Copies of this chain bind each other. A is one copy, B any other.
Amino acid sequence: MSRGRSSYVGAVPILVAVDCIILGFDHEGLKLLLFRRKIKPYQGEWSTIGSFVRPEESVESAAARVLESHTGLENIFMEPLGHYGAVDRDPGARVISLPYFALIRLGKEEINTTLTHQANWFDINAIPPLILDHNQMVAAALKELRRKARYRPIGFELLPEKFTIPQLQQLYETIYNKALDNRNFRKKILSMKILERLPEKDKSTSRKGAFLYSFIPKRYEQMVEKGVDFVL
């Protein structure tokens, strides 16, 4: 009982890390942000980005700190993704990892800020071998993304504020890896009444131009609450 405030005599503390699986979407498809590891073991290899949880911060703020310090982004959609707790998963020490999965809106700016720290966006279908069990974590994140996309509208997190319906369709097609009928897609997404059509058009991808839409936050939230079976 001589170890400060702890009354849990005999319990052995363990290193706890958070790892961020950062996904983004742009015209080329779904991307994963990876980093060259800065410490040993496995220094220099590709890895998701993580950090040990510090005594004075919550697990959640550790994850936010990691994301912010490597991308400059704050208030990002993040969600815990289980835990990895095998005894020998990390040869450097016994470490329990709590991965978070983050969805970010890809614009040109974000990509630049990250290129500074030995970072790179990888196409989701061409992920290199990663250290430890990180490939597993990425696979879990992808599975979770697909699950999520099915049961709730997604897009607020992965699309810019204004987007076109073809863009949204492309996002779903990328996630499901499957072509969708554009008439039915439009019908279904519009019938949810979570989109507001703006007066502007995006002419960057066609001569005709596609109308821009934005999510109606209130209705979007209602849909998330209620749950939707968005099989396409």
Interface residues on A, range: 35 or more
Question: Is B8's CB under 8 angstroms from A93's CB?
Answer: yes
Question: Is A96's CB under 8 angstroms from B39's CB?
Answer: no
Question: Is B55's CB under 8 angstroms from A92's CB?
Answer: no
- Chain B residue contacts of A195, Cβ below 8 A: none
Question: Is A93's CB under 8 angstroms from B7's CB?
Answer: yes
Question: Is B7's CB under 8 angstroms from A41's CB?
Answer: yes
- Chain B residue contacts of A52, Cβ below 8 A: 8, 11-12
Name the segment of A79-87, A123-131, A185-193, A207-215 touching the other chain.
Answer: A79-87
The copy count of this chain in the complex is: 2
Give A122-161 interface residues, CB cut-off 8 Å to B: 147, 150-151
How far, in whole Å, are A56 and B95 apart by their CA atoms in the complex? 12
Name the segment of A57-65, A103-111, A176-184 touching the other chain.
Answer: A57-65
A interface residues (Cβ-Cβ under 8 A, vs B) = 5-8, 11-16, 39-41, 52-60, 62, 80, 82-83, 85-87, 91-96, 98, 147, 150-151, 227, 229, 231
Question: Known contacts A7-B93, A11-B52, A53-B85; can you find 11 more A-B pairs with CB under 8 A?
Answer: A5-B92, A5-B93, A8-B39, A8-B52, A8-B95, A12-B52, A13-B15, A55-B87, A56-B87, A62-B85, A151-B151
